[in-house]
Amino acid sequence: MTQQQPGAATGASALGLIRPFVRQYSSRLIGGLGALLAVDLLQLGIPRLVKRAVDFLAHGTASQIALAQSAFSIFLLAVGIAGCRFVWRYLILGFSRLVERDLRDDFFRHLLTLDRPFFQKKPVGAIMALATNDLGAVQLAGGMGLVACADAAIMGIAAMACMAYISPRLTLIAVIPMPLLALLTRVLSARLHRRFLKVQEQFSHLTEFARSTITSIRLLKAYTQEGSQAESFNRLGRQYQQDNIRLARVHGTLFPISGLVGNISLLLTIFFGGRLVIGGAITVGDFVAFISYLYMLTWPMMAVGWVANLFQRGLTSLGRLDEVMKANPTLADPAQPLAFPVGQTEISLRNLHFRYDGQEQPALAEVSCVIRGGEIVGLVGRSGSGKSTLCHLLARQYPVEDGVIFLNGVDINRLSLAAVRERVAYVPQDVLLFSDTVAANIGFGNPEASQEQIEAAARICRIHEEILGFSEGYQTRIGERGVKLSGGQRQRIALARAILLDRPMLIIDDSLSAVDLETEQEIISGLATFLPGRTCLIVSHRIAPLRDTVRIMVLEEGRLLAQGNHAELLATSPFYRTMYHQQQMHRHREEEL
């Protein structure tokens, strides 16, 4: 099972997350608490009026007018209570919703600052659970939890004061069982925290499992794995339910015990209070009023358990959110970024080593080369040789050491992240499209682009004609992640999106692998004409489409094995020659079939 994180061990330090919002909405909070105080004070008036009426009756001095006066006063109090209740609900519950909204905004904004290494560790489902379930728990604690706590405190103190006014001795007797409740709450709250943390973590697993199942539904069906997947889901769901029951067992103990304590107080009051009435120390009206106050005290007692539960949940969830809020992006801007050098962009790698976190083998080692401004260079190599890694580094997705990557002679670490990213148009190997229209997908990075510009990019990528053939042309919606398109169409739309950005550097990571060879070759050959002056790095697992590029670099096990144009490499690199001939043979065999 997931280990308890230090950050989640206590939510108390995480309170800092909501402190600024509490300050910002303090007038709402103070107004709400004021209305709550008014409700409680007005409520305390009712037993006093009841006492008056009972004493009139007991002494035989009751008149119709006196009774009507008491009734009317109670009515006025009741109306006042209802009005104030509305006000506190509106203000305090509104406060908790505002805090929730701002916290969610902050959380989202912070997520956007984090980079690949973070998301590699934290699954999307877990993040979604935080943004829904955990934020919900914080909202509940900041709304109803706060109300119940304030209400219980005000009511508890005020009711006890009124009881003490009637009889201090009887009050002392009535509150004898209460410390038991405080002790119990203290003992149980640690357990409550642990079990709630487990519940929330299990919910994260459940959410992540559902998300990954739904996003890979096609694969699942192709491999007829629906049954086993449903079974795994069921197992996770059962675990979640059991964790919830274990949690319910804890707060299920708190509630009945709070009620029991209240009833023990009542029986003590009836016995000892009754004796005081018999002895003439207090009147029957006092006795009735005292019991009414005791009932008022029952709610705060019950609330102790409930509030402890709500606060503990809120704090636990806040701790879980805080863990993400404390995560820093692994890439940061330098303290004093240099201006990006003007002109065509030259990329130079100097003895570049790179190892992924937690991996023993470097993904890239001793890579040194220069891609001059405006050059179109191909990159080939076997699977796992480090091609994508190099693309990630150039697109500034992972941190690199100082002095290994230079753009126009300036160390990449001396430039701001945005300055570099704004100059790179990057097409990742796994194409990502949005559930929107074709036009919106191509124009994603450049919302100002005109229809002509979008079409021009599509033409460069040899996809324009096919788009026109779709039912609604460029306005055709492509379904979730582009499910309505073929693999090659998706890749070319993703490439068009990058080309439309018209940036000085273009990095294409094997993004035409599903396109037929001739089309890939046509597109790559066209780049020199359509994108003059742009520095392009084109990864391809097929050599043939790269034949016309000025230079091809060959990676093998993270090392730059050879570089040169196609003819040179055929002549000098046995590795390249073998790779090329194998691909040619494979192609001829396919053509013969």
Ligand X SMILES: Nc1ncnc2c1ncn2[C@@H]1O[C@H](COP(=O)(O)OP(=O)(O)OP(=O)(O)O)[C@@H](O)[C@H]1O
User: 3-class DSSP state for residue 238?
Assistant: helix
Candidates 292, 388, 413, 563; binder of ligand X (CB under 6 A) is 388
Which of Mg ion, ligand X, none does residue 574 bind (CB under 5 to 8 Å by kind)?
none
CA distance 137 to 130: 10
Q: Which stretch binds Mg ion (CB under 5 A): 72-80, 260-268, 336-344, 426-434?
A: 426-434
Residues 189, 298, 348, 389: which binds ligand X (CB under 6 A)?
A: 389
Separation CA 11–CA 189 (nearest Å): 13
Can you tell me whether residue 121 is helix, strand or coil?
helix
The entry of Mg ion, ligand X, none near residue 385 (CB within 5 to 8 angstroms by kind) is ligand X
| Residue among 429 and 453 whose Cβ is closer to Mg ion | 429
Give the E-state strand segments of 335-453 in sequence order. Answer: 347-354, 364-371, 376-381, 405-407, 410-411, 424-427
Instruction: Please identify, among the stretches 233-241, 268-276, 382-390, 458-466, the one whose residues bind ligand X according to the rule CB under 6 A.
Output: 382-390
CA distances from 479 to 212, 437, 441, 451 (A): 18, 8, 11, 21
387 binds ligand X (CB under 6 A): yes
User: Which residues inside 489-528 make contact with ligand X, applying CB under 6 A?
Assistant: 510
CB of 433 or CB of 553, closer to ligand X: 553
User: If binding is defined by CB under 5 A, does position 491 make contact with Mg ion?
Assistant: no
Tallying the residues shown for the chain, one arrives at 593
477 three-class SS: strand
Secondary structure in 3-state letters for 292-306:
HHHHHHHHHHHHHHH
**159 burial level (CB within 10 Å; 0-12, 13-18, 19+):** buried
Q: How far apart are CA 34 and CA 465, in angstroms?
A: 68
Angle of CA points 432, 435, 437, to nearest 5°: 105
Q: Is 441 in the site for Mg ion (CB under 5 A)?
A: no
For ligand X, which stretch binds (CB under 6 A), given 233-241, 321-329, 380-388, 442-450?
380-388
Q: Does 285 bind ligand X (CB under 6 A)?
A: no
By CB under 5 A, which span of 191-199, 210-218, 427-435, 485-493 interacts with Mg ion? 427-435
Is 83 an interacting residue with respect to ligand X (CB under 6 A)?
no
Is residue 491 within 8 Å of residue 512, measured between CB atoms? yes
Cβ 376 to ligand X shortest distance, Å: 19
E strands in 278-375: 347-354, 364-371
Part in contact with ligand X (CB under 6 A); list of ranges 160-168, 173-181, 298-306, 385-393: 385-393
At 69, list the tokens: 């006066």
Contacting residue, 414, 541, 547, 559, with ligand X by CB under 6 A: 541
Q: Tell me: does residue 120 bind ligand X (CB under 6 A).
A: yes
Choose one: 22-30, 240-248, 387-395, 455-463; the region binding ligand X (CB under 6 A).
Answer: 387-395
User: Which 348-407 positions form the footprint of Mg ion (CB under 5 A)?
Assistant: 387-388
The size of the interface with ligand X (CB under 6 A), counted in residues, is 15
Q: How far is the CB of 497 from Mg ion (least distance, A)?
A: 19
Stretch that binds ligand X, among 234-242, 378-386, 468-476, 496-504 (CB under 6 A): 378-386
Least distance to ligand X from the beta carbon of 117, Å? 8
515/414 Cα distance (integer angstroms): 38
Q: Give the nearer residue to ligand X in terms of CB position, either 246 or 382.
A: 382
Q: Which residues of 51-85 are buried (b: 16+ CB within 10 A; e: fewer)?
A: bbbbbbeeeeebeeeeeeebeebeeebeebbeebe
CA neighbours closer than 13 Å in the CB half-sphere of residue 335: 0
Compare residues 429 and 453 and give the one whose CB is closer to ligand X: 429
- Interface with ligand X, residue 362, by CB under 6 A: no
**Tokens 């006066």 appear where?**
69
Do residues 313 and 140 touch, judged by C-beta distance below 8 A? yes
Q: Which does 208 bind (CB under 5 to 8 A by kind): Mg ion, ligand X, none?
A: none
Closest contact distance (angstroms) between CB of 516 and ligand X is 19
In sequence order, what are the residues at sequence separation of 6 or more whose Cβ sits closer than 8 angstroms to the Cβ of residue 246? 195, 198
- ∠ CA 425-111-105, nearest 5°, is 120
CB of 20 to ligand X, least distance (A): 35
Binding residues for ligand X restricted to 564-583, rule: CB under 6 A: none
Instruction: Name which position in 64, 383, 471, 529 contacts ligand X (CB under 6 A).
Output: 383
Q: Is 70 among the residues that bind Mg ion (CB under 5 A)?
A: no
471 binds ligand X (CB under 6 A): no
What b/e string do you get for 493-512 counting C-beta neighbours within 10 Å, with b at 16 or more? Answer: bbbbbbbbbbbbbbbbbbbb
Instruction: Decide if residue 353 touches ligand X (CB under 6 A).
Output: no
CA distance 280 to 58: 13
370 DSSP β-pair partners: 348
Cβ-contact 13, 321 below 8 angstroms: no
- Given 10, 216, 225, 429, the residue binding Mg ion (CB under 5 A): 429
Structure tokens of 101?
Answer: 């909204």
Distance CA 96, CA 145 (A): 10
- The single-letter code of the amino acid at 240 is Y
Q: Which is nearer to Mg ion, 322 or 509 (CB)?
A: 509
Q: How far apart are CA 163 and CA 224, in angstroms?
A: 70
Complex with Mg ion: residue 63 or 383, whichever CB lies closer: 383
**Quick check: 386 binds ligand X (CB under 6 A)?**
yes
Ranges within 439-468 binding ligand X (CB under 6 A): none
Binding site for ligand X (CB under 6 A): 120, 356, 359, 363, 381, 383-389, 429, 510, 541
Q: Which spans of this chain sit near Mg ion (rule: CB under 5 A)? A: 387-388, 429
